[in-house]
A and B are shown apart, each in its own frame.
Chain A
Amino acid sequence: MALLLFIYVSIGAFIGLSIYRACQYAKMPLHGRWELYPVPKEPGERGHYGGSYYEELEYWTKPRKVSHMGEMKEMLKEMLFIKNLFVNQKRQWYLSYSLHLGIYLLGLWTVLLLAGAIVELTGTPIVAVNTSPVAAIIYYLTLYAGLAGVALLTIGSGGLVIKRIVNNVFSKYTTPQEYFNLLFLFAVALSGLVVWSVDPAFNYGREIFKGLITFSPITTNAALTVHIVLLGALMIYIPQTKMSHYVGKYFAFHKVLWENEPNLRNSKMEAKVKENLSYKPSTMWSAPHIHHHGTAAPEKK
């Protein structure tokens, strides 16, 4: 039962801490504009070549056009394929994408395990040969997604650890924590492989989900217990580290680099700006010119 509670806690912590982190960023004050082109929400070709509304004569007299679809497409390319890394540093992309695709597939695998658990609770077993096509599809999809996911995650995390050790440039900039993070992922993937080796159809996963749904104890062996503890700890750990870049990336692109909303007269943005300008900070910078209208401090008499 303790293990079951631990799983609840780790899932809750992952979601809760990730939301908390996102809220921390969302609550930060309105920042100065710091956009960088190309901005994909600029409509049409501009979104590709890097143009903006500043190319139009008296842009403020024309309706502002924003391509949400363009932004969404670019965001998805970055999230699903790590496009920038692929375009600019393909060698690193292979390992990094292996790790990330592995995680995405394991995410899908988790959803499939949940679906399988629900189907089994309704009385239809998830087995290879099945009269129910839904159950058969779930069985095979779970199998392939899980296997591919864990294999890619193992290769990606293990490969990145090795690269960071043997590549002189990478090793200079890698902190012990960054090695630890990769090894943590690798350990979870490896322990998953050990569990899978005695249960190739991932039945254990569906049993755990059935336990979670019905709040009933789960049966585990030593290998599975280790795997659950490691995975749960990882889920609690990730949102507290820079591995939570799934949160940061959204803000870095959507709220900073692609945020080019102009401050037009009587606009919503102008209202925000007014409010921000009325803020009185409690502390100030200390250099003399800060306190003397931008010029040097007056000479002492």
Chain B
Amino acid sequence: MDNIKPQDMGKTSDVLVRPEKLMPLPAPYDKPGMEPEFKPVKDTWKEDFCTSLDGFVGNDTLARPKTKEEEQEMIKKFLSGLDKLFSDQTNRGYLQPLALSFEYCAKCNTCSEACHTFKSSGETEIYRPIFRSEVLRKIYRKHKNGDSLVNRFIGGDIDLNIETILRLGELAYRCNLCRRCAQTCPLGLDNGLLAREIRKIFSMEMGIAPKPLHEKGTVNQLKIGSSTGLNKAALLDVIEFIEEDMYDKTGKEYKIPMDKKGADILLTHNAGEFLAWPENPAAFAIIFEEAGLNWTLSSEMIGYDNVNYGLFYDDAQAKKIGIQQFKAARDLGVRKIVIGECGHAHKAATVSMDRNVAGEDNIPRESFLPLLQDLIRKKAIKQDPSRNNFPVTLHDPCNMARMMGLIMPQREIINTICPQFREMTPNGAQNYCCGGGSGFAIMNSFNFPEFRNKIASRMKFKQILNAFQDTIEDPETPKYVCAPCSNCKGAIRDILDYYETTAKFNVHYGGLVELVVNAMPQFERPFLDFLDEEAGMM
């Protein structure tokens, strides 16, 4: 279907649009055959889920109703949720920002140019930030005014049918909620917020949210303690393994303090780090121990997993998790919480949950970045930049940069310890999302990874390639993308794997603390595995 309009969301068709002419990539990915093609959509998915938007299935619990009655019930529930969005009883925390963004859009389209998904997809209309918002507006108007002349005058011309609802449920998961579009809006409005509000209707009213975020995410976290499924006993095993690994790498015995009452600092990690990137908590432990800090990790319920996927789709889940995290800190009697390398955990603990806590639970919370900057400034840890003498670029996690204003500490650190550091363009508060934001990094159902790797992460991949243009085609030179965030690391790991960039061009990724430990001269072996392997090959 060509020339798509918001009104087309309700029209019957196999697929509304399939992105085709994607944004070209720089060298060496400008040559034919360098990029995997989209795979065909399976017929069984079409019957059971909503593939009729763009052929991708992101929301794996958004099941297609089987009967007319089920369809009507689903529409009814959606509209009931829509009403609750605009109620000061059920949506107190977001009513004002929502009402402003809903009401005042001038349709100037300035936001479109800022959106990495829209641009990467070759300007596919449905990914235009205002497309989704306009569909929501039309549904709301139709819901309130029916088929009246007034409704058509004010723009409520949309079919309020099951196809519209299902497609909108999918479309809410084509935005990374990076809010780059909102930075450019002349009226200060936020299409990212509206995408999140749509997700809330589906989750909080209809009980529909992607399994990796809800069932395996927040539900697991509230039940077991971590979205990874890691319970206390397993965590303690992992900690032991990390301690052994630290000894192997450094030749020094480090003990990670657990549940130390009255410690100065409770350090919190994204529990995904313990399992996927244990070198990251290890690097933190080495730095904190070498600097002589009085710190601890928690093994108590939710205290060891600082993620809060509720931020992406559900205020109720976000609040329950946030409160538990603060309680874990209070029980330990720590003076402050320091958040490790996880972008959305940064935002959750410091910004999003800030107005959900008061009194004794209101323990000061801060990023690890100013602390690390201070340690390096004071030379509390020894650093030899020549150990990091390879091209390094820095990715700014949206949740830290654009939504918290953390820009300079990481730059000061990386400029101190990486002689070949180069910025991506744009960067800082104007950065592009990695494509894994708002849960995409962990949403791997059906063909959603294709959408992420080829479209959502495409702009970041382009930025990475551009940052390394001088050496990208030299496989002998290792290159490092520093991404101080678990979700961003996950997304970058996937693109480097999908495009075989590590295998072909020696591009690696990791956090910031790993670079800091790698620059510590007292250790013989490099801390970064790819350097260690190279040493082994020689």
List residues of A whose CB falls within 8 A of some B CB: 25, 28-39, 42, 46, 49-60, 78, 82-85, 87-89, 92, 96, 168-170, 172-178, 180, 242, 245, 248-249, 251-253, 255-257, 260, 262-265, 269-270, 273-274, 276-277, 279, 281-290, 293-296
Contact = CB atoms under 8 A, between A and B. Distances in A.
Contacts of B428: 49-50
Interface in B1-49: 3, 5-6
Contact of B108 (A25, A89, A274): A89
Contacts of B233: none
A109 to B, nearest CB: 24
Pick from B223, B352, B362, B373 the residue with the most CB of A within 10 Å.
B362
Given A169-B109, A283-B87, A60 B364 contact: yes
B100 A295 contact: no
Nearest to B223: A295
B358 A274 contact: yes
A280 to B, nearest CB: 9
Given A52-B406, A177-B154, A285-B84, A294 B218 contact: yes
A245 B101 CA distance: 11
Contacts of B430: 50
A252 B405 contact: no
A283 B81 CA distance: 12
Q: Which 4 A-B pairs have the closest CB atoms?
A: A52-B405, A50-B429, A175-B155, A252-B188
Contacts of B366: 54, 57-59
A263 B355 contact: yes
A89 B402 contact: no
9 contacts: A28-B96, A85-B108, A170-B107, A170-B109, A173-B6, A256-B96, A257-B190, A269-B355, A281-B89
Nearest to A48: B429
Nearest to A178: B107
Contacts of A293: 222, 320
Interface of B: 3, 5-6, 77, 80-81, 84, 87-90, 92-97, 99-101, 103-110, 113-114, 125, 130, 134, 152-155, 179, 182-190, 193, 203-207, 214-215, 218-219, 222-223, 315-317, 320-321, 336, 350-352, 354-359, 362, 364, 366-367, 369-371, 373-374, 401-409, 428-430
A289 B218 CA distance: 10
A100 B246 CA distance: 63
B405 A32 contact: no
B374 A57 contact: yes
A36 to B, nearest CB: 6
A285 B216 CA distance: 21
Contact of B205 (A172, A281, A286): A286
B179 A36 contact: yes
Contacts of A260: 351, 405
Contacts of B407: 37, 49-51, 55
Contact of B97 (A59, A256, A282): A256
Given A31-B355, A54-B350, A57-B373, 10 more contacts: A32-B356, A54-B370, A87-B184, A176-B155, A252-B100, A256-B100, A265-B362, A273-B356, A281-B89, A293-B320
Given A36-B179, A55-B408, A282-B89, A174 B107 contact: yes
A87 B373 CA distance: 33
